[in-house]
Amino acid sequence: MKKKRTISIKDPKLRKIRNNLRLLLIRATSAEWRKYFDEQHRLNTDLDGNIRNLSESKKPRTAELTRKMNEIKRIVEASIIQCPVCRKIDKDMIFNPELKEWYCIQCYRGMGEFYYQEKEARAKGLVHDDFHEDFYKTFLD
């Protein structure tokens, strides 16, 4: 998808179906992520829960588990099922073609408004050092 696109559902019954489907997907991906996390935790800690030095033979497996957890996180964040800012799963969404991510309408607009607020603050000499202008610019119409 290369264009900004909004998916909005007005019918309350369809909204409920969409939200339940998203909840199901979030639960499934969370369960999968948790499975990898638990295995990695078992490899990294002893029976008392203390962090132990990992043997060389177990390092490839923990690296693989980290990759799998990151991949699940990346897939969820790039999907339409959850807003990456507010984490809500029951919202109408807008696709940001530059970031290739879906955001809820409220957060999308908030990011665009923040861009203008930050530009105005900078014009007045009130500089916040962690303002990523190129990122926030992608939320402008």
CA distance 95 to 102: 4
Closest CA to 23 of 88, 86, 75: 88
How would you list the strands of the sheet with 93-96, edge to edge?
A: 5-7, 93-96, 101-104
The least CB distance from residue 21 to Zn ion, in Å, is 18
Give the footprint of Zn ion on residues 19-58 (CB under 5 A).
Answer: none
86 binds Zn ion (CB under 5 A): yes
121 binds Zn ion (CB under 5 A): no
Return all residues near 125 (Cβ < 8 A) that are at least 6 apart. none
Q: Which of 9, 85, 99, 105 binds Zn ion (CB under 5 A)?
A: 85
104 binds Zn ion (CB under 5 A): yes
Given the complex with Zn ion, which of 65 and 89 has the nearer CB atom?
A: 89
What's the length of the chain? 141
Binding site for Zn ion (CB under 5 A): 83, 85-86, 104, 107
